[in-house]
A and B are shown apart, each in its own frame.
Chain A
Amino acid sequence: MRFLVVDDSSTMRRIIINTLNKLGHQDVLEAGNGREGIERLSNVGSVDLIITDWNMPEMSGIDFIRTLRAMDNHKNLPVLMVTTNAAKDDIVQAMEAGVNHYIVKPFTPDTFKDKIQAAMTK
């Protein structure tokens, strides 16, 4: 399975990739913002799960997902958002944009693994 991790923080990308590796997933692509995420998808065709931050320069996670949902080949791609934005309005906005799963930072490794596995099985 192939993953795309979109986050402007190299620290968060590494934490997420380390967790995916521990779950046995080695095929992980990285992008530093939504625009780079679109470029990566254009280059590789598609992935099985996108894990994205919300607040990023150039193109935010919300704009990234809205862009994906407007593309015929990516409109059903599962997306897990990883963010500190957890007010009710934030979650509503994310779900309306097309987020499938949501995890709030900070999180425990077990919580993150559970979310990944839930996202993979749906």
Chain B
Amino acid sequence: MEAQMLAVLTRVTKEVFETMVFAPVEALPPCDTLPPASGPGVIGTISFAGSSSGVVSFAASLESAREIAGGMLGMSPAEVQDELPDAVGEITNMIAGSFRTQMADEAGAWTISTPNVTIGSDLSVRHVGAVARTVCPFVFRGHRIFVELVLTDPTRLPHAERQEARAC
């Protein structure tokens, strides 16, 4: 299940960037936790619930997020100001929504939340309780960006099959 979920998440992220940002991303091997952020950054999150439950999140530096928003909106990164939170929310929404759709045959129809976006410096995310986190790193214009899948359903913890943590 983990391998399938990660393959789908990687595929839909690539599709979103190619079609809506007009810039390809290169997928790197999955790892277990987001690396510590240094400097300003953004994180978009969407929760899902159904046969599985959890969170899909998107994380990038502020600089990368401005480039992404500019690509979507036809603006230069320097022009992107108030548009940034909504654009990050929409990228997160498209990744999570496409993930939901492409997992529907296997996992049934999940309900997904509206996106939440956090902008700040040195951001880190902690989850309370038993969760399994898997991060899909990508390279976007020379910078690393991250899509994370957090599963909160203990019967589907993907890490149960694995003995060693994978560093990002």
Contact = CB atoms under 8 A, between A and B. Distances in A.
A11 B100 CA distance: 21
B72 A104 contact: no
B19 A86 contact: no
Nearest to B102: A86
B87 interface: yes
A83 B98 CA distance: 9
Interface residues of A, number: 23
Interface of B: 15-16, 18-20, 69, 72-74, 83, 86-87, 89-90, 93-94, 96-98, 100-101, 104, 109, 112, 114
Chain B contact surface mostly = helix
A10 B83 contact: yes
Nearest to A10: B86
Nearest to B22: A109
Interface of A: 8-12, 14-15, 18, 55, 57, 83-90, 104-108
10 contacts: A14-B73, A15-B72, A15-B73, A83-B97, A84-B101, A85-B97, A105-B98, A106-B15, A106-B18, A106-B98
A9 B90 contact: yes
A90 B19 CA distance: 22
Contact of B86 (A9, A18, A83, A84): A9
Contacts of A86: 98, 101
A87 B83 contact: no
* 9 nearest A-B residue pairs (beta carbon): A84-B97, A87-B104, A106-B19, A86-B101, A11-B90, A11-B87, A106-B20, A106-B16, A9-B90
Contacts of B87: 11
Contacts of A11: 69, 72-73, 83, 86-87, 89-90
Nearest to A112: B19
A14 B19 CA distance: 15
Contacts of B109: 87, 89-90
A84 B97 CA distance: 5
Contacts of A89: 104, 109
B69 A84 contact: no
B63 to A, nearest CB: 18
Given A11-B90, A14-B73, A55-B114, A84 B100 contact: yes
A23 to B, nearest CB: 15
A40 B97 CA distance: 28
Interface centre among A10, A84, A104, A108 (most CB of B within 10 A): A84
Given A87-B109, A106-B15, A106-B19, A9 B93 contact: yes
Contact of A84 (B72, B73, B94): B94
A18 B20 CA distance: 13
